[in-house]
């Protein structure tokens, strides 16, 4: 079975999507529709903007979503997933790809998500750090013993986990984890503590938008970040999506479950090749590629 996976924030790059816009009438129409929905020319920032322009949360999240969903739409005849998943933000792209939500509603939710997360980041200083070279259980143990808020946020691959929380809590956990044998403990250049309790105000705000959006039964299973399990039930999908902002991204578990359920190859749909690298670390024998236009 072929699985399609969709990247999240951090996959953006200057010039992203320009080739799609120039070579596909379908893509051009969708990009122009996106500009109208968002109320600003995101296409101009994607095609002409700098790395700094693309790092703005209000730009980054719609840009990555648009690159993924418009690429999928332009390749609709050849992209027919039998199961889908997305990393964090990428879950919204996956939901569009499996027809659980429309392109328009997906973009509106992503825009609302970006705004809510930015607001939450500005209200309380927080951060994230990548921990390399330790078992998940060790990272979990250290985080649970820190005086302050610090939690595992992204289970990216065996030996690669991201922690999230207060600036002091993350710094303290990183030092202990280095003492416990971590090869690296690197603070990430992010706006705040994503997938942690610091995102609770954003979760509450996004919940309203999700509950006001029409969800449909997808034509294939989507494996969601919160529990790494497949779902085709619209109500279950909505509940899991609401929980996503304050829960860890269980990517390692997701890929393992997809393989156990029959996935024989993974195609990354969107900017970059980050997910292909993570999947290879989870299962070296698994075939991976990129969707190419």
Q: Specify if 192 maps to a domain.
A: no
Structural domain contains residue 95: yes
Judged against a pLDDT cut of 90, whether residue 210 lies above it is answered with yes
Total domains in the fold of the chain:
2
Asked if pLDDT for residue 222 goes beyond 80, the answer is yes
pLDDT at residue number 291:
85
pLDDT score at 163: 98
Which domain range does residue 157 map to?
127-187
pLDDT score at 103: 97
- CATH number of residue 183's parent domain: 3.30.70.250
**In which residue are the tokens 């997809």 written?**
258
In a domain, 239, yes or no: yes
Q: Which pLDDT score, from 0 to 100, does residue 275 have?
A: 97
Same domain, 100 and 138: no
pLDDT band for position 162 (cuts 50, 70, 90): very high
Do 243 and 152 lie in one domain? The reply is no
Tokens (6 digits) for 257: 């479950």
Which entry of 24, 67, 87, 88 is annotated as an active-site residue?
Answer: 88
Q: Is residue 226 part of a domain?
A: yes
Rounded mean pLDDT, 185-197: 93
Residue 243 lies in a domain: yes
Q: Mean pLDDT, the chain, as a whole number?
A: 95
pLDDT of 169 > 80? The answer is yes
Higher confidence at residue 74 or residue 107? 107
| Residue tagged active-site, from 68, 87, 166, 195 | 195
Contact criterion met (CB below 8 Å) for 166 and 145: no
**Assigned domain for 88 exists:** yes
In terms of domains, do 177 and 239 share one?
no
Q: What is the CATH number of the domain that holds 50?
A: 3.40.366.10
Q: Catalytic: 196? A: no
Q: Do 256 and 282 fall within a single domain?
A: yes
Q: What is the pLDDT of residue 259?
A: 97
pLDDT, residue 37, reads 96
Q: Which of 135, 168, 187 is the last residue of a domain?
A: 187
Please check whether residues 104 and 144 belong to one and the same domain: no
Give me the pLDDT at residue 161, please.
98
pLDDT of residue 79: 73
Q: Are residues 100 and 227 in the same domain?
A: yes
pLDDT of res. 14 = 95
Residue 78, pLDDT score: 76
Is residue 55 over pLDDT 90?
no
Question: What's the whole-number mean pLDDT along residues 101-114?
Answer: 97
pLDDT in tens, 15-48: 999 999 999 999 999 999 999 999 999 999 999 9
E-assigned strands of the chain?
2-6, 83-86, 127-132, 150-157, 160-165, 184-187, 221-223, 230-231, 265-268, 287-290
Shared-domain flag, residues 72 and 173: no
Flag whether pLDDT at 80 surpasses 90.
no
Same domain, 221 and 265: yes
The residue among 140, 169, 187 that closes a domain is 187
Exposed / middle / buried, residue 261 (Cβ in 10 Å: 0-12, 13-18, 19+): middle
CA distance 170 to 290: 34
What backbone phi and psi angles, to 5 degrees, belong to 113? -60, -45
* Same domain, residue pair 61 and 156: no
The per-residue pLDDT for 191 is 85
* Residue 286 and residue 164 in one domain: no
| Phi and psi angles of residue 10, each rounded to the nearest 5 degrees, phi first | 110, -15
91 with 22, same domain: the answer is yes
- Based on the fold, state whether residues 134 and 269 are members of the same structural domain: no
- pLDDT for 196 equals 97
How confident is the model over 216-237, as a mean pLDDT?
Answer: 98
pLDDT at 185: 96
Closest of 96, 126, 111 to residue 59, by C-alpha: 111
Active site residue 216: no
Q: Is residue 15 in some structural domain?
A: yes
């Amino acid at each position: 079975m072929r699985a399609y996976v969709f990247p999240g924030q951090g996959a953006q790059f200057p010039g992203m999507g320009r080739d799609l816009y120039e070579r596909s009438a379908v893509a051009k129409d969708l990009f122009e529709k996106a500009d109208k929905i968002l109320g600003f020319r995101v296409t101009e920032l994607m095609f002409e903007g700098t790395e700094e322009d693309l790092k703005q949360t209000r730009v980054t999240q719609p840009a990555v979503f648009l690159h993924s969903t418009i690429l999928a739409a332009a390749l609709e005849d050849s992209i027919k997933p039998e199961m889908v998943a997305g990393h964090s933000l990428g879950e919204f792209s996956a939901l569009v790809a499996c027809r659980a939500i429309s392109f328009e509603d997906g973009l509106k939710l992503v825009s609302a998500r970006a705004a809510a997360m930015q607001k939450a980041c500005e209200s309380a200083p927080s951060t994230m750090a990548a921990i390399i070279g330790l078992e998940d259980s060790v990272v979990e143990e250290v985080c649970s013993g820190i005086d302050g808020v610090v939690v595992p946020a992204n289970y990216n691959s065996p030996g690669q986990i991201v922690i999230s929380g207060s600036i002091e809590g993350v710094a303290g956990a990183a030092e202990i984890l280095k003492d416990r044998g971590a090869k690296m403990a690197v603070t990430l250049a992010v706006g705040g503590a994503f997938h942690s309790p610091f995102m609770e105000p954003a979760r509450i705000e996004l919940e309203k938008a999700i509950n006001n959006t029409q969800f449909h039964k997808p034509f294939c299973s989507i494996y969601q970040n919160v529990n790494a399990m497949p779902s085709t039930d619209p109500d279950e999908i909505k509940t899991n999506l609401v929980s996503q902002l304050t829960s860890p991204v269980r990517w390692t578990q997701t890929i393992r479950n997809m393989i156990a359920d029959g996935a024989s190859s993974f195609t990354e749909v969107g900017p970059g090749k980050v997910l292909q690298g993570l999947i290879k670390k989870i299962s070296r024998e698994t075939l991976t590629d990129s969707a190419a236009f």
